Amino acid sequence: MAISATAASAGLGSPGGVPGVSSPSKGTRLNIGTGFLGAVIGYLVGHWLGNFIASGYQAVQGSGANNVAIVLALALGALGWLTGMGVLSYPIAKLLGHDAPEERPEAGWGRYLRFTLDHKVVGVQYMVGVLLFFFTGGLFAMALRTELLSPTVHLFDPNRYIEIVSEHGTIMMMMATSLVLGPLGNFLVPLMIGSRRMALPRVEATSFWIFISGLMVILTAPALGGFQTGWTGYAPLQTQSNLGMDSYLVGFVVIGTGMILGGFNMVVTIINYRAPGMRWSRLPIFAWSMLATGSILATATPVLAVGLYMGLLDRTVRTANFVNSHGGNAFLWENLFWFFGHPEVYIMALPGFGIAAELLPVFTRKPLFAYRVGAAGMIGVALLSYFVWQHHLFQSGINPDMRPLFMLTTELISIPTGFIYLVGMGTLWRARIRLELPMLFVLALYFNFLIGGLTGVFLSDVPVNVTVHGSFFVLAHFHYTIMGGLVFAFFGGLYYWLPRITGSMMNETLGKIHFWMMFIFFNFTFFPLFIVGLLGMPRRVFEYAPRLQTLNDIATISSYLLGFSFVIFTINFVWSQFISPKPAPPNPWQSRGLEWMMPNPLPFHNFSRIPVILSDPYRYGEPDALPVADFGSEELRPETAGMAVDAAGQPIEKGDA
């Protein structure tokens, strides 16, 4: 699986030509093994230190456990993991007055198990990481659906059931925030904008290993008794929960830190590292979606982090931020959480639309319809996403006078969302569609999101929301918008860009089996839940009226087959990339995208000379269209002439930025 090659072997310049871009040298010994060792040491030190500080103080009454010790153990365990991975090696070396080891390109599988500064390797690390946690969260979902096969015969007691619900929701939501920006964003955006690297390569690599450590912390919750708050962690249940709640709070803080870093790095890269001529009007629509997503991550997540720190203080040193009886306010947590939590929905929706809009022109051979409207719609969604959070609190007892305002803002956000959707419909209109495998996933996204979007309009209306709040109707709506949109788009993007990432094609027959099973059984799993929700079946309760068993059985059996579709994908991936790889043509989809205009395997530093962008990548069917970029002469066109570049060859002045 050839994912990158050194610049020297590709004949594209010296490997050391761009500082701070390459992977650690072969002399680096820090890897996943030392990371686990550091995590164990950090956990033990934190537990001892917590017991020493608390001196037997019981933060969770009647539990017999020291809450301070658990929090410090998890936090220092995550820090030990990062230290063992080598994340802190560079700043520690600088603090001690030493120069960092020379960075050299590295071949072999070892580079995927280490801290690396190559954005292409980080993208692959993210891809494997998010898929592993996606499948882990899916196993929890299968356990839930198995429990709901019968309204009276139970596999789990009520406490264990709600703990599985909470673990499933938390893992899936945290994984989904990085599902596209992590693997595809980090790998592709520098290639798409003509850059040799991300703006802050150490921050990029750090965000990945923080992501992994945070999810590992959350996976410790079952061993600590689990938590029963759902993925939202509502107070006052938060302060009353088992020690597993500490895993939720610490894990969320850790992952949130990585989300802030990753989002900030993406925004800085797109704004400052575009090649000469890469005007805003020529920026790929996928990069627009990454810009909007990164902006939300960098600005909304700190609000959640503040709430998480306050919750940790309530559980460890007995403050009362969210405890009503001691002068706090549980509503404060809901507001802090959903001020992040609803923009988070668009952290997951916008990347899916970005993938779809990027692929549509390729498989319709038409320019992207209303490109500027689509870009404006993404920015509009990002801005309006901060003004709708209290529709999650319609049932909480907030001032009823606030309901009309948030009903209005919730309905208003459907306008820029509709713009984005109509860009896709306009591109499909009267197109000669090539029904290649990635295009099937794109078409499924528009079908699924239409159902999710229409049901969302109903939920924005207060009377309907009052009726169906807390029911399976809301759960079905959410899965249609997120899984039906983001996850379908992600797999479509994988099938489309894997030849660029790995140099090998996926098996088309197995891919189509995967698609049709996933599409059909996704709808058979979640559409019946709209019906049972309207008939009064509540979420997070493992007993229900016997008259609803048939619909639940259909959903459960379909969920097994939906899960099996991902087994088909895994078989296809292993077979096509490792056992019997089929080399990919240089540009298998005949795309105009800049990312397809480099040799395979990719040069280590992407470009021996920063290209000059001449056109946007969507001028399909236009005989007189300029090429997307000029990779040759240093003589720039008049509109880009005279641009200064830094030591890395990056332009200092950015088109019409």
Question: Over the stretch 445-497, which tens digit does the pLDDT of each residue have?
Answer: 999 999 999 999 899 989 999 899 999 999 999 999 999 999 999 999 999 99
Could you give the CA distance from residue 429 to residue 364 in angstroms, rounded to a whole number?
Answer: 9
Chain CA centroid to CA 252, Å:
14
Q: What is the DSSP string of 420-484?
A: HHHHHHHHHTT------HHHHHHHHHHHHHHHHHHHHHHHTSHHHHHHHTTBHHHHHHHHHHIII
H or E element that contains 629: strand 629-630
Centre a 10 Å sphere on the Cβ of residue 299 and count the other Cβ atoms it contains.
17
Under the banding of pLDDT at 50, 70 and 90, the label for residue 104 is low
* Mean pLDDT of all residues belonging to the chain: 88
At residue 56, the pLDDT reads 55
**pLDDT tens, position by position, 64-96:** 568 889 999 999 999 999 999 999 988 888 888
Tokens found for residue 224: 């600590």
Which pLDDT band holds residue 257 (cuts at 50, 70, 90)? very high
345-367 burial, b for 16+ CB within 10 Å, e for fewer?
A: bbbbbbbbbbbbbbbbbbbbebb
- pTM metric for this prediction: 0.90
Of 22 and 552, the structure prediction assigns the larger pLDDT to 552
Give me the pLDDT at residue 219, please.
94
Each residue of 186-216: pLDDT tens digit? 999 999 999 999 999 999 999 999 999 999 9
Tens-digit pLDDT profile for residues 127-169:
999 999 999 999 999 999 999 999 999 999 999 999 999 999 9
pLDDT category of residue 175 using cuts at 50, 70 and 90: very high
Tokens of 82: 């990062």
pLDDT in tens, 40-52: 999 999 999 988 8
pLDDT tens digit sequence for 369-414 = 999 999 999 999 999 999 999 899 888 877 888 889 999 999 999 9
List % helix, strand, coil for the chain (3-state, nearest 5): 65, 0, 35
Check residue 606 and report its DSSP letter.
S
Q: What is the pLDDT of residue 398?
A: 77
Is pLDDT at 17 greater than 60 in this prediction? no
Does residue 543 or residue 29 have the better pLDDT?
Answer: 543
**pLDDT, mean of residues 109-138:** 93
Give the position of tokens 């459907």.
414
- 505 DSSP β-pair partners: 582
In SS3 terms, 361-427 reads as HHHHCCCCCCHHHHHHHHHHHHHHHHHCHHHHHCCCCCCHHHHHHHHHHHHHCHHHHHHHHHHHHHH
Q: What is the DSSP letter of 222?
A: G
In 10 A of CB 166, how many CB atoms?
26
Q: For 26-30, 174-178, 417-421, 424-428, which range has the lowest pLDDT when averaged over its residues?
A: 26-30
Residue 331: partners with Cβ closer than 8 Å, 6 or more residues away: 393, 396, 397, 398
Which domains are assigned to the chain?
Answer: 31-98 (no CATH), 116-583 (1.20.210.10)
Q: Which tens digit of pLDDT belongs to each residue from 493-533?
A: 999 999 999 999 999 999 999 999 999 999 999 999 999 99
